[in-house]
A and B are shown apart, each in its own frame.
Chain A
Amino acid sequence: MTEFIIANMAPIIFGSLVVFLLLGFPVAFSLGANGIIFGWLGIELGLFHPAFFQALPERIFGGIMSNDTLMAIPFFTFMGLILERSGMAEDLLDTIGQLFGPIRGGIAYAVVLVGAMLAATTGVVAASVISMGLISLPIMLRYGYDRRLASGVIAASGTLAQIIPPSLVLIIMADQLGKSVGDMYKGAFVPGFVLTGLYLLYVIAVTLVRPNWAPALPVEARVFREPNGKSGNVSLLVLAVVSVAAAVTFGKLALAPDRALDETIVITSLVGVAVAFTLAVINKLLNIHLLSRIAERVTFVLIPPLGLIFLVLGTIFLGVATPTEGGAMGATGALLMALARRRLTWSLTRQAMDSTAKLTTFVVFILVGARVFSLTFYGVDGHKWVEHLLTDLPGGQVGFLVVVNILVFVLAFFLDFFELSFIVVPLLGPVADKLGIDLIWFGVLLAVNMQTSFMHPPFGFALFYLRSVAPSTRYKDVHSGKVTEPVTTGQIYWGAIPFVLIQIIMIGLVIAFPQLVGHDKDAAAGGPDIDIMQMIQEDAQKSEGGAPAAPDSTPAQPAPPPASDDAITRALKDADKK
């Protein structure tokens, strides 16, 4: 019996973890307790040295408390919470809705585009979905959009916050895979835009196949019209062309051609936006009617989000700020913006701090639990067990990727991304690394996959948020005077399914075209890739004080004398720092 337990320690620990977690007690403590119970058993069985647990404080101190990357979690959360009440999302939806409304499927395009833009500023799914559900959904219902399309497009566009930087998933993924957040952001950029493009393509396809699902807004629904009745779009187009031309010219003349692409893009866009903004300000102040109302309005409404995007992503890509500092600057920027719009109150600030502190605490505590768990799990060579399971799959890299993606896709029905990234990702990362898979690419791939956890009926959060703001009973539309039918829960679920399929297509695209995931040349050389392996090896070493190297060898003879505790602590600390 004892021998059986010793030989199968890793599968036993893993099996009990599943049971412990399903009990429904808070994940952080179930995880940690699992590590402690089996660690204690390991000490009793002679697998570990009695001083085994002494590494715990240092694991928490070095790996979590002094971890700069994790600090970005409260920063971006706080920024998102302030921003969601600053009114920026509503202004964007109103204006962009007006701009695209007159074409078929216009409001749906506006929702996708605004969703992508909000995603690039914050990364908070709830905020986007609630704003769009309250502002765009009633308009879509009024003008006869198909309910499934309307709710699906809102829920899915809200989840773009998960994949377009700066997103919490990517931060945590970078931390867990031992990569830099900046590289992860750069890697996720193109996939994020491709995904936005796929959503738009889906809307185009719907308007072609089922034109009555997404009608254009009638003339009387358009607010920003010129006194002479024209739309004013020509003026907007001219403004756009002028700004882009200014940006390109500046890029050609003033910037060295050998500058990194991302820096060039950031700087030239800044110039382009500045030109548009200056023209709009002059137009407004001098009242010269150079620009149409819609052109002026679009410019002013785009400035706050673009400013924030520059403050956060621009500074990160330019190398001026670390992602953590970018988060802090974004949060400060959001505070200032909310203040300028007179939306910042003490109660809002207090609520935002309270929610941020709670979210940070429960996220970080899952990590605390995970590190207690992994001490024991790696101690019994659990990582080698997982590695054997996954490297022995037929098909090598491809087989591994297929299995892992199916696994994560299925788990995403039940777990949210915090749980997935702290429990599952650390087990998969080292194996992927060993199979020669680039970890940035792997992280982005998993992030796209985990995005589905927000859309899966019936537990997806985005669907849940949308349900809470979508009409659930009949109501009388005050604009048209018509009695409008409610949006049923079934319609919300069905609406999400095409987008889950798009997500699967995107996973396929990322696997088929790995170059989608942008890369710095030096990062591709694989320098820091060894970090995680080293960390795990050192993790395993520290348990060698008491444990035989392989769990299946009989631990009859007394364990070799352990290295001094200090040395262990130091080794761990070093490992953790990486």
Chain B
Amino acid sequence: MQGLLKLSRGIDALNMGVGKAATWLILVVVVISAGNAVMRYTIDWSSNGLLEIQWYLFSAVFLICAGYVLLKNEHIRIDVIVGHLSPRTQNWIDVFGLVVFLLPMTLLILYLSWPVFMNAWTTSEGSPNPGGLIRWPVRLLMPVGFLLLALQGFSELIKRIAFLAGKAPNPLAKTTGPTAEQELAQVIKQHQVAPEVADIVEMNRDMVEDKKPHEGSGK
């Protein structure tokens, strides 16, 4: 078990690093896309390569971050029922879900997407648009993304089983530290808000933690 947990920590570190790095692409693609629009209408210049790099980068973000988001447990769940179950039951459901849902799906897509990449690589598949980009890098993103996701699924499985065996803390326990909303409230407060509400956010924190719906959605 210790060996497996070590492996799990390794995978976590990998997805953490790769995922964090990939988030920078958001800034890059924003700038490229805005630049493309401005260039086209100011000096009437456009390039298919620069247009295609947008969706290459967009694909890179969500495929490479898939494992990272799983690590952070931020893929949306419908927790109307699960929210009320015990931590052990929640972990058992996740073990079932990882083995029966996530791993088969990711491994199947990984297996099927590899030949597609190989085909693009050997035939030097290019864009149908003049000046477009070569296709193999973006074709490669799919197997890479699903490999990272499958690895993370495996790591999550190890953590769930270790918890159920009493050898690790609950991986589904709410992470401490402020949520995105609390951070936002903090910032607004610092700049603007009347002093009488200064500590309300702080006071509410524990109370809200219990009722929190899945984080991140609704934005």
Contact residues of A with B, CB < 8 Å?
20-30, 32-33, 36-37, 53-54, 56-58, 60-61, 64-68, 70-71, 74-75, 77-78, 80-81, 84-85, 87, 89-90, 94, 124-127, 130-131, 134-135, 138-139, 168, 315, 320-322, 324-329, 331-332, 335, 343, 348-351, 353-362, 364-366, 369, 372, 414-419, 454, 458-459, 461, 464-465, 467-473, 475-479, 484
Contact = CB atoms under 8 A, between A and B. Distances in A.
Q: Which of A125, A168, A468 has the most CB of B within 10 A?
A: A468
A328 B181 contact: no
B65 A361 contact: yes
Interface string B175-208: 0000011111101110111111100110111011
A74 B197 contact: no
Given A75-B33, A87-B191, A416 B218 contact: yes
A23 B82 contact: yes
Contacts of B207: 472
Contact of A78 (B30, B41, B62, B102): B30
Contact of A23 (B36, B93, B187): B93
| Chain B at the A interface: SS class | helix
A377 to B, nearest CB: 15
Given A57-B142, A473-B203, A353 B75 contact: no
A522 B51 CA distance: 27
A27 B27 contact: no
A126 B203 CA distance: 19
A53 B75 contact: no
Nearest to A569: B116
A74 B30 CA distance: 9
Contacts of B58: 65, 70-71, 74, 360
B211 A464 contact: yes
B184 A332 contact: no
A419 B26 CA distance: 24
Interface string B43-80: 00000000000110011011101101110101111111
Contacts of A168: 219
B159 interface: no
B37 A25 contact: no
A369 B62 CA distance: 13
A418 B216 CA distance: 12
Given A89-B188, A465-B181, 11 more contacts: A22-B78, A26-B70, A33-B102, A56-B113, A74-B58, A321-B37, A353-B23, A359-B217, A360-B26, A471-B200, A473-B203
Contacts of A417: 218
A129 to B, nearest CB: 9
B168 interface: no
B218 A56 contact: no
A437 to B, nearest CB: 28
Given A24-B81, A475-B196, A464 B213 contact: yes
B192 A80 contact: no
Contact of A418 (B108, B203, B217): B217
Interface in B143-195: 180-185, 187-189, 191-195
B59 A23 contact: no
A176 to B, nearest CB: 17
Contacts of A464: 208, 211-213
14 contacts: A23-B93, A29-B97, A32-B105, A84-B184, A127-B184, A134-B188, A138-B197, A321-B41, A332-B31, A343-B191, A362-B74, A414-B80, A454-B218, A468-B181
B218 A54 contact: no
Contacts of B69: 358, 361-362, 365
B78 A27 contact: yes
B105 A372 contact: yes
Contact of B194 (A71, A138, A362): A138
Interface of B: 19-20, 22-27, 29-34, 36-38, 41, 54-55, 58-59, 61-63, 65-66, 68-70, 72, 74-83, 90, 93-94, 96-97, 100-102, 104-105, 108-109, 112-113, 116, 138-139, 141-142, 180-185, 187-189, 191-197, 200-201, 203-205, 207-208, 211-213, 216-219
| Chain A at the B interface: SS class | helix
A50 to B, nearest CB: 13
B105 A33 contact: yes
B78 A414 contact: yes
A473 B192 CA distance: 21
Nearest to B85: A24
Contact of B34 (A332, A359, A364, A477): A332
Q: Which of B97, B212, B218 has the most CB of A within 10 A?
A: B218
A134 B82 contact: no
A332 B27 CA distance: 9
A360 B58 CA distance: 9
A29 B105 contact: yes
A75 B36 CA distance: 14
Contacts of A327: 33
B101 A33 contact: yes
B38 A353 contact: no
A467 B142 contact: no
Given A54-B112, A362-B216, A477-B196, A23 B74 contact: no
Nearest to B207: A472
Given A36-B104, A468-B204, A353 B97 contact: no
A506 to B, nearest CB: 20
Contacts of A67: 55
B139 A61 contact: yes
A27 B76 contact: yes
A469 B197 CA distance: 9
A467 B208 contact: yes
Contacts of A89: 188
9 residue pairs, one from A and one from B, having the closest CB atoms: A24-B82, A25-B97, A328-B33, A33-B101, A26-B75, A461-B218, A325-B37, A357-B23, A65-B59
Contacts of B68: 357-358, 361
A360 B62 contact: yes
Nearest to A459: B213
Q: Which of B38, B90, B189, B200 has the most CB of A within 10 A?
A: B200
A476 B196 CA distance: 7
A484 to B, nearest CB: 8
A24 to B, nearest CB: 3
Nearest to B205: A468
